[in-house]
Amino acid sequence: MFFIRAREELCLTFPLIILTLVTIRKYRMSENSKSTVFQFEVRYNHILNFSEISRRLLSPFVKLASSIKVDNQGSIEERLVLNFDEDNYLITVSWDRILIKVQGAIKNFTESNSIIQTPFLSILDRLMELEGFGNVQNILLAANYVKKFDCDKSKLVKWFSERALNKAVESVFPETTDVAVVVESKMKESEATVSFGPYFGSSELLKRPISLVSNVDLEDFDFSGVMLESKYFMKVSEVNFSTFVDIVKVNEENVQRVWKML
């Protein structure tokens, strides 16, 4: 995959040649944008005795899960994974972070009484009550999106290149088989990244860094268009449901700016 990277930072030290985005032409597209899977992660100071207290800590939530998996059992880096198969999500708890990975539309989980509040943030609350718990350090939201565009698969790379790249980049190879654009913004307390490129069908979802929780609904994503991966990192000292809602809002605004461009 060929990447074009544009950066927005406090100190712009990169050559202008990397800024290759151009004015986008109008093109008929589907309004159906789908977030396929997202992951919300809270990182904190290391809990050195995590393996000793993990089972007692999670016991109220184990009965809610379909299954539980323990990695690195008995070690300082022990990790517990609670799978909730019927609802297509899982929660991983370890000595330095807790994360939830959910398959579905991210906006659906910004309403009250969602699984972000319980069980995810409820587990975090129990962690923070531990005598040896230090401080929350930062949070990370990562999400995958796909959008259908009415373009033949055989012409998809060319179609995308004409809209997102200038001609100099298009001519790097005699024949380009794939391409993507990466845009980054680094501020003092936060970082945001969006990467997007041609999407050839549901098999691509199996190759992404954030894998699907389940392959049950894979056929729903079997179309061609554009795939977008977004990340938003922020330094924080505390986390609650409003924190999640706010970071989702910022992330969604970034994503919508890309869709409008295309």
**CATH number for the domain harbouring residue 46:** 3.30.310
CA dihedral 130, 135, 138, 143 (to 10 degrees): 10
Say whether both 31 and 98 belong to one domain: no
Q: What is the pTM of this model?
A: 0.85
Query: What gap in Å lies between CA 251 and CA 262, rounded to an integer?
Result: 17
**What confidence score (pLDDT) does residue 32 get?**
65
Burial class (CB in 10 A: 0-12, 13-18, 19+), 118: middle
Say whether both 56 and 128 belong to one domain: yes
**What confidence score (pLDDT) does residue 59 get?**
93
Number of C-alpha atoms within 13 angstroms, CB side, residue 166?
8
Q: What is the mean pLDDT of each run of 10 residues along the chain (262 residues)?
A: 44 30 35 83 96 92 94 92 95 98 94 95 96 94 94 91 84 86 95 96 89 83 94 96 96 92 85
For residue 162, the enclosing domain spans 3-36+141-261
Task: Write out the two tokens for 209.
Answer: 């860094």
Say whether both 162 and 249 belong to one domain: yes
Task: Write out the two tokens for 161.
Answer: 């290149």
96-117 burial: b if 16+ Cβ within 10 Å, else e: ebbbbbbbbebeebbeeebbbe
**Is 116 within 8 Å of 241 (Cβ atoms)?**
yes
Say whether both 26 and 56 belong to one domain: no
Output helix, strand, coil percentages for the chain, rounded to the nearest 5.
30, 35, 35
**What confidence score (pLDDT) does residue 80 get?**
97
Say whether both 256 and 147 belong to one domain: yes
Say whether both 147 and 132 belong to one domain: no
Q: Which residue has the tokens 């009484």?
A: 113
